[in-house]
Amino acid sequence: MKSENTSLLKAKIRIKEAIIEDIRELILTGQLAPDDVIHESELTNRFGTSRSPVREALMHLEQEGLVNIVPKKGTVISRIDVNQLRQALFIRTALESSNIQILCKNIEPSQIQKLRENIEFQKVALEIGNYSEIYDYFDQFHLLLCDFNSMPRIWEIVRTEKISLDRLHALAKTHMPRLGILYEQHIQIVEALNQRDVELCTELIQSHADIDYEAMNLLAKAGPSKLIKLEPQEIGMNNENN
């Protein structure tokens, strides 16, 4: 009996995790947009499960800030919070800047080669126009920078914090032909690492944040919208500009 109960519990956890991963992916890729509504009944049918793991999954996603559970309405995909974005950009820039300053002094030729190989994959993805693969290779590039310092925990923190950034990228992709700029910056970062130019490496990492700020501002300019949860003063400023 105990073994049977344990197996049922494990199965329930697997279903819950599958629901979390599925919905998170739909949100982060923009397939589920802010203010879209999803219902428990749809998810129970989709996953062939009871309401219990569905509710637990939605509660987990609410804790991540991706959804809002509204009684008698359903689960609403949350808007992107500008304050959350700014904090994510600050955390990412601070951690990655410190990381690359250390790496720049200790980088090895074999590591430079791995970065160049990754950049080749970035180039192919850009030429094909495969948006999902582009950001996968971009993320792998930054993960390598942390792994080379034997500090993968840095990327784990960044990855957790950058959920709102991933949503921004998905929503801004039609406004953001600047992916090529990020690609060119990656090439420059590798060359700066090869030259052990700490100052230039730091400057380039910080320039990444400038591009994200630009994407954020593009989406915010329209005023109160479904895309970004704006602060009162920002809404007022944008209304004045319209």
In the predicted structure, residue 235 carries a pLDDT above the cut 60: no
Q: Are strands 228-229 and 80-81 parallel, antiparallel or unpaired?
A: parallel
Q: Are residues 59 and 167 in the same domain?
A: no
How does residue 11 score in pLDDT terms, banded at 50, 70 and 90? low
What's 175's domain CATH number? 1.20.120.530
Distance CA 115, CA 107 (A): 11
Q: Are residues 14 and 40 in the same domain?
A: yes
pLDDT value, residue 183: 93
Last residue of a domain, one of 78, 108, 132: 78
Q: Is residue 113 part of a domain?
A: yes
pLDDT in tens, 181-198: 899 999 999 999 999 999
pTM: 0.75
How does residue 233 score in pLDDT terms, banded at 50, 70 and 90? very low
Six token digits for residue 42: 């749809």
In the predicted structure, residue 221 carries a pLDDT above the cut 70: no
Q: Are residues 159 and 201 in the same domain?
A: yes
Residues 6+ apart with CB under 8 A from 38: 23, 32, 67, 74, 75, 77
Q: Are residues 111 and 142 in the same domain?
A: yes
How does residue 64 score in pLDDT terms, banded at 50, 70 and 90? confident
CA–CA–CA angle 181, 182, 184 (5° rounding): 65
Q: Greater confidence, 133 or 169?
A: 133
Q: Are residues 53 and 89 in the same domain?
A: no
List the beta strands (DSSP E) in the chain.
37-38, 67-70, 74-77, 80-81, 228-229
Residues 6+ apart with CB under 8 A from 108: 148
Q: What is the mean pLDDT of residues 205-227?
A: 71
pLDDT value, residue 236: 35
Q: Are residues 231 and 119 in the same domain?
A: yes
Q: What is the mean pLDDT of residues 153-157?
A: 88
Q: Is residue 241 part of a domain?
A: no
In the predicted structure, residue 8 carries a pLDDT above the cut 90: no
In the predicted structure, residue 110 carries a pLDDT above the cut 80: yes
In the predicted structure, residue 143 carries a pLDDT above the cut 70: yes
Q: What is the mean pLDDT of residues 219-240?
A: 50
Q: Is residue 117 part of a domain?
A: yes
Distance CA 239, CA 227 (A): 16
| Percent above pLDDT 70 for the chain | 82
Distance CA 133, CA 230 (A): 30
pLDDT value, residue 13: 75
pLDDT value, residue 234: 41
How does residue 241 score in pLDDT terms, banded at 50, 70 and 90? very low
> Looking at 53-57, 71-75, 106-110, 169-173, which range is the least confident one?
169-173
For the chain, what is the domain count? 2
How does residue 124 score in pLDDT terms, banded at 50, 70 and 90? very high
What's 26's domain CATH number? 1.10.10.10
